[in-house]
Structure 1
């Protein structure tokens, strides 16, 4: 599990924390102020974006181009204030997983389940791969936006063609943002907003997939514990092991509820805003089929937001599936050798495991089925726009 915890620590480092300082500092510490400043800074970018929409209200192409960026910024705002509001809960979950891992390894009969458990290593690799791919995708998209105006200025100057300077992102400031020094200020401002968005989005999403992988690993370990129960042997020993299994299951369910609670605003915002983003980005892709550079930018943007949504849907799916398999583990165990008292305990676990653990917010459920539904909607939207065009 150590390498699994490393992913959590890397996510904290992106936001300027480490495990020791994160656990020791209170919410009144300057670290809390840092997140407040970051929140206000990223939120402030909505004003020039909305001003741009109002200024170009008669041009649907420019409006959709701006809204795609504004929606992404809003998702990041949701993630920052959620992390700020539940900062202590994030720390408690990390601490709980470390305690749980230490506790499990302290029992001698748990030792077998940690030998050759490749799913933990595989899960960690997949989580790291998803987080890294998303960060790279966001980084490249931001790089495209930032380098685009510079490349145009350089190429037009080299060719001797007049060119009106543009900001990397569709923004309209309450000052002259075309001439110096307003243009330079706007460019630097946009650069820092992009950096904050990429760092916070990558960190908070990385923490979620890390928590989800941890929960899956422990649900799988719980299933193995059930298979290791030696029914038919000394009843007192089996009762002790069974009590540990029940306690283990209850703790995992508690951690699952805590994860759902602290990520409810993010899951809701992720699904709702992503649904809007898909519409405006697909419109941009379809209307820029003749421009390779624009297609690269918007397709990369589309992949970034879908990968971001996939992280939550995949995490929710694996928690749901593994929580249901606890009941299957009981059915395939040697329950028929258990005493009547032990069977009643197993029935209790089975009944609870039949209620799947869901990561959801309102009517949005983080699952692969919903992810595919949004993808299908995107494909249908492409067909619709092309037929209208």
Structure 2
């Protein structure tokens, strides 16, 4: 259990946040630390050389589409950084809330501990695996040119220097020392992008899995209510269940609120990236190495989208299952007053808790819809070719 909270805390601290910083960030009055501003400026500044590269090669569709996929990724990360800046205290408070809920569950005879412990172990493993995969993706970008330079020197061949990303700077970025300066700049941008993307996305999936576990614990509490016990004891358990349910719904609402800009941007930008990368895949069918690169990048952006869709799906499903738990409980043994408590829980759980932004809903159905769209793009581009 401690592994998850430690991972979450590391994510927040890596992004420059500490428990003592920030104010009432929901009103947009958070404290913007120097490290946050530098990170945001780094990411935004990278848009200029990439757009300059696109303008310089405006007659080469392959180079344009290859650069656009990175431009979109960079833009998405900028949105994640800005969202974190605005709601950074809410991120920390939500993590602390889940920690307190776990401690309370342990103190009350471990009533919820089975579900919560198992879920948090899963969240810790997924979060760690996702961070590692993002790190390897970033490592691939800036190690590729270095490996090519080393191989060309070993073979004694002439190699035109390349940057980790397609960029054109307002100075000579091919010869020394301009190339080295541009390379170091690109490496720092990549590190910031990978750090923020993996941290913000990892926090979301850990929060979502936590909520699922607590919804499952609530369902178990409702199913296990023994209406044959003393009326006061039963009433106390039902009041506790109602409060627990309201608390989980409030947490779900906060999660949806702080991630709304990110969910909207994730769906919109991923949809654009899919079209760009599919074009690259279709036009490089004869090159195995190029296909490996583009499929790897395609898998990376789809994994980001899947995290949000999977998190939204499990929250939606488990919030609806609370109503089912009431229906299969021994409600027929309850007196009219106790049934009112159950009816209140059913009423609140009739409407699923959705993680959505605008017309985008984070669900597996929408994730599959984008996958089908990608396949349609392949067919369309091949027919045009």
Partner in structure 2 of residue 310 of structure 1: 306
Is structure 2 residue 279 aligned with structure 1 residue 283?
A: yes
- CA 1:99–1:153: 2 relative to 1, 3 Å: closer
Normalising by structure 2, what TM-score? Answer: 0.93
Distance in 1 (CA, whole Å) between partners of 2:139 and 2:100 is: 40
Partner in structure 2 of residue 377 of structure 1: 373
Distance in 2 (CA, whole Å) between partners of 1:275 and 1:134 is: 21
Distance in 2 (CA, whole Å) between partners of 1:128 and 1:101 is: 15
Is structure 2 residue 225 aligned with structure 1 residue 199?
A: no
Higher relative contact order (CA 8 A, sep 6+): 1
Q: Which runs of 5+ in 1 are unaligned?
A: none
- CA 1:358–1:343: 2 relative to 1, 3 Å: same
Partner in structure 1 of residue 363 of structure 2: 367
Is structure 2 residue 50 aligned with structure 1 residue 49?
A: yes
Partner in structure 1 of residue 69 of structure 2: 68
Checking the alignment, whether the CA contact within 8 Å between 2:106 and 2:112 is kept in structure 1 is: no
Matches within 5 A, 1:205-220: 205-220=201-216
Cα distance, 1:355 vs structure 2? 0.5
Distance in 1 (CA, whole Å) between partners of 2:156 and 2:19 is: 58
Shifted more, 31-40 versus 127-136: the winner is 127-136
Is structure 2 residue 131 aligned with structure 1 residue 135?
A: yes
Q: Which runs of 5+ in 2 are unaligned?
A: 24-28
- CA 1:144–1:288: 2 relative to 1, 3 Å: farther
- CA 1:267–1:14: 2 relative to 1, 3 Å: same
Checking the alignment, whether the CA contact within 8 Å between 1:76 and 1:201 is kept in structure 2 is: yes
What is the Cα-based RMSD across aligned positions, in Å?
Answer: 2.0
Matches within 5 A, 1:79-118: 79-107=80-108, 111-114=110-113, 117=114
Shifted more, 287-296 versus 218-227: the winner is 287-296
Instruction: Pick the aligned partner of 1:151 from 143, 147, 153.
Output: 147
How many aligned positions are there?
380
Checking the alignment, whether the CA contact within 8 Å between 1:274 and 1:309 is kept in structure 2 is: yes
Cα distance, 1:181 vs structure 2? 1.1
Shifted more, 173-182 versus 8-17: the winner is 8-17
Checking the alignment, whether the CA contact within 8 Å between 2:312 and 2:354 is kept in structure 1 is: yes
- CA 1:326–1:144: 2 relative to 1, 3 Å: same
Normalising by structure 1, what TM-score? Answer: 0.92
Shifted more, 288-297 versus 303-312: the winner is 288-297
Secondary structure of 1:86's counterpart equals: helix
Partner in structure 1 of residue 323 of structure 2: 327
Task: List per-residue Cα deviations over 1:268-318 (Å, max 9, x = no partner).
Answer: 111100111111111112222222322222211111111111111111111
Partner in structure 2 of residue 297 of structure 1: 293
Checking the alignment, whether the CA contact within 8 Å between 1:138 and 1:301 is kept in structure 2 is: no
Cα distance, 1:122 vs structure 2? 4.2
- CA 1:199–1:158: 2 relative to 1, 3 Å: same
Task: List per-residue Cα deviations over 1:319-359 (Å, max 9, x = no partner).
Answer: 11111010111011111111101111211110110100000
